[in-house]
């Protein structure tokens, strides 16, 4: 009976490894914890990633984890995406983090709630090379309390026809 249990646990662990490694659409992903859960408006989130696939759209996400100390129902971001030859895309985006009743819309429970905000969706990249993105919070306050983690994820999307 114990051998069977060990076998099933081992098989489950191997399956978890196989299935978690199947997501090859992520090109870049990095997150960091914010000291004292206070995101300064001067604290730029920066990423550089290489694009080698011009046959698929690319998607760029802002990754944020909030605690219950975050006092707003939304968040604004300003991002600047720079391509290999210096071409720029700049945009300001707003995202809801709670509903009108104050219920968190992200994933999580207890005090922490995670979000994957789509900053750029279905971006057709026609040139291979190094791309850079800068993201800053774009709110009316210099310090956003209750922001526990921040990050960037870049993934390959559907094929461009």
CATH classification of the domain holding 48 = 2.60.120
Provide the domain count of the chain.
1
Q: Kindly state whether residue 5 falls inside one of the protein's structural domains.
A: no
Q: Kindly state whether residue 20 falls inside one of the protein's structural domains.
A: no
- Which pLDDT belongs to residue 2? 53
pTM of structure: 0.81
Lowest mean pLDDT: which of 14-23, 79-88, 121-130? 14-23
Please say whether the beta carbons of 137 and 45 come within 8 A: no
Q: Kindly state whether residue 4 falls inside one of the protein's structural domains.
A: no
Q: Kindly state whether residue 46 falls inside one of the protein's structural domains.
A: yes
Query: Going by DSSP bridges, is the β-strand pair 143-145/129-137 parallel, antiparallel, or unpaired?
Result: unpaired
Cα 86 from Cα 83, distance rounded (Å): 5
Q: Mean per-residue pLDDT for 117-123?
A: 95
Query: Going by DSSP bridges, is the β-strand pair 38-40/129-137 parallel, antiparallel, or unpaired?
Result: unpaired
Q: Kindly state whether residue 96 falls inside one of the protein's structural domains.
A: yes
pLDDT above 70 (res 21): no
Q: Kindly state whether residue 9 falls inside one of the protein's structural domains.
A: no
Which residues constitute the domain of residue 50? Answer: 25-159
DSSP one-letter code for 34:
P
Q: Which of 78, 83, 74, 143 is nearest to 115 (CA)?
A: 74
In the numeric block, which tokens belong to residue 57? 């759209």
Tell me the percentage of the chain whose pLDDT exceeds 70.
Answer: 85
Q: Across-strand partners of 77?
A: 93, 137
Q: Kindly state whether residue 68 falls inside one of the protein's structural domains.
A: yes
Q: Kindly state whether residue 54 falls inside one of the protein's structural domains.
A: yes
Question: C-alpha angle with apex 152: 137 to 39, nearest 5 degrees?
Answer: 30
């Amino acid at each position: 009976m114990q051998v069977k249990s060990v076998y099933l646990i081992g098989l489950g662990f191997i399956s978890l490894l196989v299935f978690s490694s199947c997501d090859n659409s992520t090109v870049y992903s990095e997150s960091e914890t914010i000291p004292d859960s206070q995101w300064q408006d001067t604290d730029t989130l920066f990423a550089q990633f290489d694009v080698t696939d011009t046959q698929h759209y690319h998607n760029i996400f802002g990754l944020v984890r909030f605690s219950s100390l975050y006092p707003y129902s939304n968040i604004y971001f300003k991002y600047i995406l720079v391509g290999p030859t210096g071409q720029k895309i700049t945009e300001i985006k707003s995202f809801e983090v709670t509903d009108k009743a104050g219920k968190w819309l992200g994933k999580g429970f207890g005090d922490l709630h995670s979000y994957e905000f789509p900053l750029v969706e279905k971006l057709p990249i026609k040139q291979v090379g190094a791309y850079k993105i800068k993201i800053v919070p774009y709110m009316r306050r210099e310090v956003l309390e209750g922001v526990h983690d921040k990050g960037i994820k870049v993934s390959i999307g559907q094929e461009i026809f």
